[in-house]
Structure 1
Amino acid sequence: MSSGGVPYSQDLPPAGGYEPIRYKRNLPARGPGGIAIFGAVFGICAYGFYRVAAGVHEKKELEREKAWSRIHLVPMLMAEGDRDAYRREAAALAREKEIMKDVPGWEAGKSVYSTKRYTPASFVVL
């Protein structure tokens, strides 16, 4: 049965057939698994806590060193304060002698208190 002398050719599948249709989802693995993520988070947290503990230890050590340095510096600072107080008292005595040199019966440096105990000056003249 040909119509008009044109050879009729039916469209057929290729030899060997069509390739199978992929109808299943083909999702690749997306990153590490849950155990790996949990392990990484645990490791990072453990390292952070280690660094915090090391920082606390370092801070305590610095505070201890600071306290001991102050303990060892106290005698020197007290001696410097005593030297400064003596220098100021000597200067005040010299000023008093200079100012009151014309006043008869004035004893420079005599205590105004009626006691033999040492009483430091209650004000400082700069």
Structure 2
Amino acid sequence: MPPAGGFERVKYKRNLPLRGPSGVVILAGVLGVCGYGFYRVGKGNLEKRELGREKAWSRIYLVPLLLAEGDRDTYRREQAAVAREKDIMAGVPGWEAGKKVYHKEGLRGPSRIVVL
């Protein structure tokens, strides 16, 4: 016969402990981190745009200086080339350093042939 008071209840229910935060808490955390990340990306884009604008204006302001520097360099190189030509061609009678060696006008000069 059964014992007095009956048999004890059958334990069929799973008794699992709570492990970690709930799904809502995780979702809120992910949305918070993503929101902060998008905020930082937006601020970084504004900063990058401003730096690009500053770089463009600095280049615009430096163009005349760079052109003048290039012109000075070209003039210096041309003068050095004429000086080298004088040294090399010193023994040739009638040679003028720095002068064109072709005496004829090309097709772009006055002797252009016009065909109608």
Q: Which residue of 2 aligns with 1:71?
A: 60
Alpha-carbon offset, residue 36 of structure 1: 2.2
Cα distance in 2 for partners of 1:70, 1:36 equals 51
Identity of aligned residues (%): 68
Q: Per-residue deviation at 1:89?
A: 0.7
Larger Rg: 1
Q: Could you tell me how far 1:35 is from its partner in structure 2?
A: 2.5
Q: Does 1:100 align with 2:89?
A: yes
Q: Deviations over 1:20-52 (max 9, x none)?
A: x8x576655444333222211111110011112
Alignment equivalent of 1:42, drawn from 18, 31, 41: 31
Instruction: Give 1:1-126 correspondences, 5 Å limit.
Output: 28-113=17-102, 114=105
Rounded Cα–Cα distance in structure 2 between residues aligned with 1:26 and 1:100:
106
CA distance in 1, matches of 2:96, 2:74: 21
Deviates more, 1:62-71 or 1:87-96: 62-71
Root-mean-square deviation (CA, aligned residues, Å) is: 2.8
1:104, distance to aligned residue in structure 2 (A) = 1.9
TM superposition shift of 1:73: 1.6
Residues 104 and 36 of structure 1: is their aligned pair in 2 closer, same or farther, counting only changes over 3 Å? same
| Unmatched 5+ stretches in structure 1 | 1-20, 116-126
Matching residue's letter, 1:72: Y
Q: For structure 1, which segment, 41-50 or 25-34, has the greater mean C-alpha deviation from structure 2 after superposition?
A: 25-34
Question: Would you identify which runs of 4 or more consecutive aligned residues in structure 1 move more than 4 Å?
Answer: 23-29
Q: Secondary structure at the residue paired with 1:93?
A: helix
Q: Which has the higher helix share?
A: 2
TM-score, normalised with respect to structure 2: 0.65
Unaligned runs of 5+ in 2: 1-8, 107-116
Q: Which has the higher contact order (CA 8 A, sep 6+)?
A: 1
